[in-house]
Amino acid sequence: MNILEIDKLSCDLHAPETGTLSKSLRGKVHMKESMKKHTSWRAGGEAERIYIPADLLDLTYFLCSLSESEPVHMLGLGSNLLVRDGGLKGTVILLHAQLGDLQLEHQDEIEGLIYAEAGVTCAKVARFAALHNLIGAEFLTGIPGTVGGALAMNAGCYGAEMWEVIEKVKILNRSGQIYERRPINYEINYRHVSLKIKSSIENQESKNIISEEWFVGGWLRLKSGNGATSRKKIKELLIRRIGSQPLNLPNAGSVFSNPPGDYAARLIESCGLKGFRVGGATVSTKHANFIVNTGHATAADIEEVMRVMQDTVEKKTGVKLMQEVRIIGEPR
């Protein structure tokens, strides 16, 4: 696919001729706001600036209004994220409150196509699919993030992953252009997705386009089936989660990825680390791959617990655990 072809929407096309771009912005700005409010760990420093776009067009305008040097952090629900205590330079863009379009675009007796904007929660997509008798998205019910975050992480559980059901994605880049990409354009791995740099992308304009870009929506192709069975499965998955995860305390899910053929939680538990604590951060006694915030944990506490888990497991088992949560920001 030629990435320049589809649905191209550039700043030049949409910026008002008067140049009073900022006046046309309809989103909300928060200055110097704690990221504790915006991460499921409820820990970490301040964001210099937060922008909550009114919708996709507004987000496009906003990106165009930024200086080239402004760092941008596109976030969903912050459920896989640790922001260091020194905070974040630049602008955090929160998509979860907005970009909430969710539509059934096509359905026949064999399959259906759902379009979900990046800010829609995964759980909502799972319920929406079941409501329309589409099956295969039930696993999304257990992922407490957004569609954008699930695309970025290739989130998954119980043997299913986000990109297995993705037909194509809608992308917005730093220059305000919107286009589509297909799974073939990405290296898709366990909890990791990266863009393949195509040798066919030769000219400078195209190179710039792929320099910084984000998911603003995704199309899920799902098989037609029985909605009631799907809803039952969703309920069962939720019960299983409540039974196995410490959902009563702030956490960010599994801290480390499962190594091939094994479970990070099993390795951590086998090293006697359940209950290990630094400040307000503790290795959960319910699920050893979770670090819970038992109250007032700093990001540094959490990072130190992670370091000890990684070092101990490597020393005792020879397995180097790979971090699954994303860590951003400055140390204090």
Ligand X SMILES: Cc1cc2nc3c(=O)[nH]c(=O)nc-3n(C[C@H](O)[C@H](O)[C@H](O)COP(=O)(O)OP(=O)(O)OC[C@H]3O[C@@H](n4cnc5c(N)ncnc54)[C@H](O)[C@@H]3O)c2cc1C
Q: Which residues are designated catalytic?
A: 191, 254, 324
Give the tokens for residue 155. Answer: 């989130």
CB 150 to ligand X: min, Å:
4
165 contacts ligand X (rule: CB under 6 A): no
Q: Segment contacting ligand X (CB under 6 A): 1-9, 13-21, 54-62, 79-87?
A: 79-87
Binding mask 7-46 for ligand X (x = CB under 6 A): ---------------------------------x------
C-alpha 292/C-alpha 285 separation (Å) is 9
Choice from 57, 157, 201, 249 touching ligand X (CB under 6 A): 157
First-to-last CA distance in the chain? 45
Residues 171-230 that bind ligand X (CB under 6 A): 191, 214-215
Helix, strand, coil percentages, rounded to 5, for the chain: 30, 30, 40
Residue with Cβ nearer ligand X (85 or 324):
324
Choice from 63, 74, 126, 140 touching ligand X (CB under 6 A): 74
Residue with Cβ nearer ligand X (154 or 310):
154
Residues 82-141 that bind ligand X (CB under 6 A): 95, 118
CB 105 within 8 A of CB 113: yes
Choice from 146, 177, 230, 298 touching ligand X (CB under 6 A): 146
Q: Cα 176 from chain centroid?
A: 20
Neighbour-count burial for 239-264, b at 16+ CB within 10 Å, e otherwise:
eebeeebeeebbbbbbbbbbbeeeeb
Residues 245-274 that bind ligand X (CB under 6 A): 245, 247, 251-253
Give the tokens for residue 65. Answer: 């209004």
Which residue is listed with tokens 């922001």? Answer: 83
Closest CA to 248 of 285, 275, 276, 278: 285
Neighbour-count burial for 74-107, b at 16+ CB within 10 Å, e otherwise:
bbbbbbbbbbbbebbeebbbbbbebbbebeeeee
Choice from 80, 173, 230, 282 touching ligand X (CB under 6 A): 80
C-alpha 160/C-alpha 303 separation (Å) is 29
Q: Segment contacting ligand X (CB under 6 A): 125-133, 152-160, 175-183, 271-279?
A: 152-160
Binding mask 292-321 for ligand X (x = CB under 6 A): ------------------------------
Q: How many chain residues bind ligand X (CB under 6 A)?
A: 34
- Give alpha helix (H) positions in 39-142: 56-65, 122-131
149 contacts ligand X (rule: CB under 6 A): yes
To 10 degrees, the CA torsion angle through 64, 66, 67, 71?
-120
143 contacts ligand X (rule: CB under 6 A): yes
List contacts with ligand X (CB under 6 A).
40, 73-81, 95, 118, 142-146, 148-150, 152-153, 155-157, 191, 214-215, 245, 247, 251-253, 326
